[in-house]
Structure 1
Amino acid sequence: MSEALQVVGAVLHRDGQVLACRRSPHKAEGGKWEFPGGKIEPGESPKSALRRELEEELGLVSVSVGDLLTREVSNSNGQSIDLACYWAQASEFPVVSTDHDELRWCSIYELSDLDWAVADLPTVNALQTSATTDTKAGSVHE
């Protein structure tokens, strides 16, 4: 079996919502929803890779990457994917993406209404589990 692809994702949050991005139809898993991010390049730290990917995909130049939320290895289309998702905030909000055909701000509870890429499901589950046990139900990490 091949080595897992090292990937990072951002749980961008604002006003109790998180950003979900739908992969363009011509991409692998086109039409599936994911958290924005991408591959870690050789010599990059995960947080540096995430900042680079958010600038490339969403045009975000001022991003604060916070704590690790989840890290899981999953299998998608025969490829093992090691996805680490981090909390993140940006000074501006993205309106277009180079890799996605739709961007949507969702409450934690609305996330389960979307058809997620396999690798992102553990993060969706962690967010929803956290929200149901949080005394401020529905709040997002601040």
Structure 2
Amino acid sequence: MDEPGERGMEAEHAELVRQARADGIEALLGGVAVLDAGGRVLLVRRQPGDYLGGRWEIPGGSLDPEEAPRAGAARELAEETGLTGLPLAYLHAADFTGRAGVRARQFAYTATVPDGAPVTLTEHDAHRWAPLDALPELSPHHREILDRLPRA
């Protein structure tokens, strides 16, 4: 039998997706703002030849059809950084207009890892741990997400 917390998370995910669809959102994404013990956030840099190549962002990407936002965020984090098994806490959802004018919403979660946690990149060409008060240039929706993180 499911734990009550699991049923609650499923309901939370369903409501997030339902509201996004009601708002006319066409693309759903998940992302994770990973913090280390020192309060720095993990950023990954897009490959030069990619859409928005060279830009720093939090790990994340498109949800699979019928995938819950939290599960998609965890999957994308594992695929892009090798970080797995982290408890994710919901942070914020940020809307933006993507390629070809598609209305998108990224559901963002947070996780914490010890300083020096190994990061294995598969889709990006670099990563860095950035202090929240000294972030590089980010897209507006990633800035909006990171602005929601508590400052020390």
Specify the TM-score bucket, using the shorter chain as the normaliser.
0.7 to 0.9
Q: Which position in structure 2 is the counterpart of 1:55?
A: 78
- In structure 1, how many angstroms separate the alpha carbons of the residues matched to 2:118 and 2:48? 20
**Inter-partner Cα distance in structure 2 for 1:88 and 1:39:** 19
Map 1:1-142 onto structure 2 (within 5 A). Answer: 3-14=25-36, 15-66=38-89, 68-77=90-99, 78-90=101-113, 93-111=117-135, 114-127=136-149, 130-131=150-151, 139=152
CA–CA separation in structure 1 for the residues paired with 2:139 and 2:82? 22
Work out the percentage of aligned pairs sharing the same amino acid: 29
Number of residue equivalences: 126
Q: Alignment RMSD, CA only? A: 2.0
Gapped runs of 5+ residues in structure 2?
Answer: 1-23
Which digits, 9 at most, give the CA deviation of each residue in 1:64-101, with x for residues without a partner?
111x2221211134232201111113478243311211
Provide the rounded CA distance (Å) in 1 between the counterparts of 2:75 and 2:84: 9
Structure 1 runs, 4 residues or longer, greater than 4 Å off:
none
Unmatched 5+ stretches in structure 1: 132-138
CA distance in structure 1 between the partners assigned to 2:146 and 2:58 by the alignment: 9
Bigger strand share: 1
